[in-house]
Amino acid sequence: MAFLSAVSHKSDESEKKRSFLPYLLLLPGLVWLFFFFLMPILTLVSTSTKTPGLGIGEFDQTYRFANYWDAIVNSRGQFFRSFEYASIATIMALIIAYPLAYAIAFRSGRWKNVLLVLVVAPFFTSFILRTIAWKQILGGQGIGFKFLTWLHIISPQSHLTASAFAVVAGLTYNFLPFMTLPLYSSLERIDPRTMEASGDLYANAFTTFRKVTLPLSMPGVVAGTLLTFIPAAGDYVNAEILGNPQTKMIGNVINARYLQIVDYPTAAALSFTLMVAILIMVTLYIRKSGTEELV
């Protein structure tokens, strides 16, 4: 009996130690989140309700929530355009990335790693440089432009740069790896035997894709579309470099408000609104695609 109680006492002690350890391990992350996520958000929210003070760049806290209303009303066109461009770019990226990821996952054999490196390779050069390169490619002397005129898809008199087309093309290109990699990793995880089993059970190639491959790759589709849509919706570089005044996105407005007009409250209100809007859309999307039980 004494022996038993001694043992249970000992395990109690180690239990206590063990239950304390996870919090200790979480601590660095929590500290990081506090200083670099929670604090900035709170600063952002508090800035968003300020009004201009005496000097330039000085603002007083007046809890003016009408800042939000003003900001949204003035920039609603850019808001909708951002979501529109980001949606189109996401769909385009999905259409391009799915066959690519599928080929890498199932058909590439020993070239698999090389192809994966090629998908990531553009990241080795700067985002800005790559976007400027598209300006060249789509410009009147660029190979992209010449190729499209050669195919008679566009006339030599037309122009592709400084257009909505160029902005969406830039967004699609820049976020393509964010779509391809999650798709690849979720396709690669599928047991090829489940596809064979589908064929064995009277499903042709198309039905196998529709009933087995696509549903099993849904976690990748959801992750890829989120990773593309979220940064694309907030992006301003593509619209800045490849667009014109009529293709401004919400990112450009925030950028201008903050750096050029030095109107911090409006920039903060727009940023926070964008964040909340994306959060709501993402939540609805995940609910709808019902992937919680899949992953």
Q: Which of 40, 77, 140, 199 binds other proteins (CB under 8 A)?
A: 199
48: CB partners within 8 A, 6+ apart: 67, 68, 265, 268, 269, 271, 272
Q: How far is the CB of 226 from other proteins (least distance, A)?
A: 20
The token pair at 52 is: 């201009």
Binding segment toward other proteins, per CB under 8 A, in 90-98, 206-214, 223-231, 246-254: 206-214
Q: Which of 203, 275, 277, 281 binds other proteins (CB under 8 A)?
A: 203
Residue 215 found at the interface with other proteins (CB under 8 A): yes
**Residue of 279, 224, 281, 271 lying closest to 48 (CA atoms):** 271
Q: For other proteins, which stretch binds (CB under 8 A), given 9-17, 215-223, 244-252, 268-276?
A: 215-223
What would the DSSP string read from start to end of 139-179? STTSHHHHHHHHTTSS-TT---SSSHHHHHHHHHHHHHHHH
Q: Are 107 and 186 in contact (CB under 8 A)?
A: no
User: Residue from 8, 158, 204, 283 that binds other proteins (CB under 8 A)?
Assistant: 204
Burial of 284 (0-12, 13-18, 19+ CB in 10 A): exposed
Q: Measure Cα distances from 241 to 129, 162, 164 in Å.
A: 10, 8, 11
The two three-digit tokens of residue 104, written as one number = 């890498």
Rule CB under 8 A: is residue 201 a binding residue for other proteins?
A: yes
Closest approach of Cβ 108 to other proteins, in Å? 17
Query: What's the closest the beta carbon of residue 183 comes to other proteins, in angstroms?
Result: 16
How many beta carbons lie within 10 A of that of residue 180, not counting itself? Answer: 25
**Minimum distance from residue 200 beta carbon to other proteins (Å):** 5
Q: Which one of 66-74, 213-221, 242-250, 279-287 is the stretch in contact with other proteins (CB under 8 A)?
A: 213-221
Binding other proteins (rule: CB under 8 A), the pick from 7, 197, 261, 279 is 197
The answer to whether residue 188 forms part of the interface with other proteins (CB under 8 A) is no
Site size toward other proteins (CB under 8 A) is 19
CA distances from 265 to 63, 68, 250, 252, 271 (A): 11, 9, 15, 16, 10
The window from 100-108, 173-181, 186-194, 270-278 that contacts other proteins (CB under 8 A) reads 186-194
In contact, 270 and 164? CB cutoff 8 Å: no
The residue among 124 and 202 lying less far from other proteins, judged by its C-beta, is 202
Judged by CB under 8 A, which of 16, 210, 211, 287 binds other proteins?
211
Residue number with CB closer to other proteins (15 or 196): 196
The residue within the footprint of other proteins, chosen from 171, 212, 233, 274 (CB under 8 A), is 212
Distance CA 247, CA 61 (A): 33
Indicate whether 286 belongs to the interface with other proteins (CB under 8 A): no
Q: Buried b / exposed e across 64-77, counting CB within 10 Å, b at 16+?
A: beebbeebeeebee
Interacting residue ranges for other proteins, rule: CB under 8 A: 191, 193-194, 196-204, 207, 211-212, 215-216, 218, 294
